[in-house]
Amino acid sequence: MIRCITFDLDDTLWDVRPALLRAEQAQNTWLNDHYPQALKDTSDSEILALKKAVLEDEPSLRHNISLFRQRFIQRLLTNAGVDPSEARQASEDAFAAFIARRNDVELFPFSDSVLGQLGKSYRLGALTNGNADVFKTPIGRHFEFALQAEQVGAAKPAPALFDRAREVTNLAHHEMLHVGDSHDHDVVGALGAGIDCIWLAGDGATSDIATGIISCLSELPEVLTTLQSRVSPAS
Active site residues: 8
Judge contact between 85 and 65, C-beta under 8 A: no
Distance CA 144, CA 134 (A): 11
Q: In sequence order, what E strands does the chain have?
A: 4-7, 14-15, 106-107, 123-128, 145-148, 176-180, 196-200, 212-214
Distance CA 184, CA 38 (A): 36
Distance CA 202, CA 10 (A): 15
